[in-house]
Chain A
């Protein structure tokens, strides 16, 4: 409708002026509306959204041959009750939104990556999860942790490999569905499993009609190229 209105304007100059005004309006709209829900989520607890710290290294490891990357923000605040029901616990503020980083090889979608901050035994733990295009887990990595050395050793790459191929409906209990870990690492292992499960469910819910999708600002300006 906006495009039609611009087309109906008399001249390119008029259209330019209209675009300027729309841009200014858009700025205001994005400040008040866009991540309105997202900002509410952040304000509820105040912590910033978990960043993806090493995208180049992660993509090289999980998606060799990838040529570009874009980011879609899925706002799930309208689906909190459903997410909470599937998780079996109340949804956290961070779970109001999902930043889904889509990895491409030219026009072919190789998969997606998402990150989440979870409550480890000795501090926040940031987990990065790569997904296959069909939603299965392709890989899991811990990008930031405060855990003591023995916990880090127990939850090493071998333990994390047990997440590969898991789907959103799968149970992910350490010691039952995943390899057992020493007592000292149990809390963190459970938190990691919960984080991966939350991302799997959030990703699935993102396809629900109630989810609001937007390209992240950095992606809307153009795709990032992966080299």
Chain B
């Protein structure tokens, strides 16, 4: 039956190619959109987990925007007074309070921005991945700079080298290069907090304070107390994750709708192809009935053709998505706010299996009507056709 189905499909190569291409496009859209959603979710979770903090004190404004910007190493338009740090550190529930000052130095000729982050030693307590790949893992001198791994690669710097910022008219000494963390920190320039405050004219000001609690169970009480600090607000990582995932959930629903449209179009293509094939091959199908083929066998033949079409299309679609994945990721990355540092498109075996299952089920559904029609053809019509 399989050989007969294959031969039937091969009779109209153009129709076969167009139908398979339609299914392939549908599958590719499905896998691409779902893969992007999965990758974004996983990347966000990883970045938040690696942040190593339970809450963040940020200036008044949109707390989620502020916390997200700080996590991504971006600047805020407003800042916190340094006194906020003392208030946070005096809270009994706080184990580590790490102040940050983030400053952006645009380099328009390169269409990029250097991000300088001022840290104090407490920062090591909230960055569990903070390890030097080479050189020192903390500053020994005030004009020292520690580079994220990508920043060091881009600037071709090693410990002991000078690093000049023409925009700041400052020359730093590279003291260490960090291990790759897989976060946005990889592209940052880290300098001592006091030096950053001096260079950027932000004496006694902070961009944020990242907080780790002694016991996560004390989160609620700590948030209530820290909210009282003037000019500051608290955002917890749980809230932030929840907000992002709710936003992501909305986007996923939209993506799912788009995907369903693509799959429905592909299923209609299969239905159309099979229906046309049944009409064209009516005399032949009747002859098969006349020589003893049962209704079920005829219906099975049409269904197998549908499954073959769907399988071919699905395999081609999977190949397209996997092959073009890197390009797709590069194309959409600039359009996605706060995209994770890497692995934006994640097409796992579970997604592929899910997609194959859905496509094959869709093919069976699309084959139902043509198969029913084919099964109803009377054997006697074969004699009339002859």
Contacts and interface: CB of A to CB of B under 8 A. Distances in A.
A53 B323 contact: no
Contacts of A2: none
Contact of A27 (B12, B21, B163, B324): B324
A53 B17 contact: no
Which of the four size classes fits the interface of chain A?
A: 35 or more
Which of the four size classes fits the interface of chain B?
A: 20 to 34
Nearest to B150: A46
Main secondary structure of the interface of B (DSSP, over half): helix
A46 B316 contact: no
B152 to A, nearest CB: 9
B360 interface: no
B153 interface: yes
Interface stretch (A59-67, A113-121, A132-140, A166-174): A113-121
Given A28-B323, A31-B323, A146 B109 contact: no
Interface string B254-277: 000000000000000000000000
A53 B13 CA distance: 47
Interface stretch (B55-63, B164-172, B201-209): B164-172
Interface string B311-323: 0000010011011
Nearest to B112: A144
A117 B164 contact: no
Interface string A143-170: 0111111000000000000000000000
B17 A149 contact: no
B14 to A, nearest CB: 3
Nearest to A9: B13
A27 B323 contact: yes
Which of A12, A13, A117, A122 counts the most B-chain CB atoms under 10 A from its CB? A122
A16 B14 contact: yes
6 nearest interchain CB pairs? A27-B323, A13-B14, A122-B164, A47-B153, A13-B13, A17-B17
Interface of A: 10-14, 16-17, 20-21, 24-28, 30-31, 45-48, 53, 117-124, 144-149
Given A14-B17, A46-B150, A123-B163, 11 more contacts: A10-B13, A11-B13, A11-B14, A13-B15, A16-B13, A20-B316, A24-B320, A27-B323, A28-B323, A123-B155, A146-B155
19 contacts: A10-B13, A11-B13, A12-B14, A14-B13, A16-B13, A16-B14, A17-B13, A17-B17, A27-B320, A27-B323, A28-B322, A48-B154, A117-B156, A119-B156, A120-B156, A122-B171, A144-B109, A144-B110, A146-B165
Interface of B: 12-17, 20-21, 24, 109-110, 149-150, 153-157, 161-166, 171, 180, 316, 319-320, 322-326
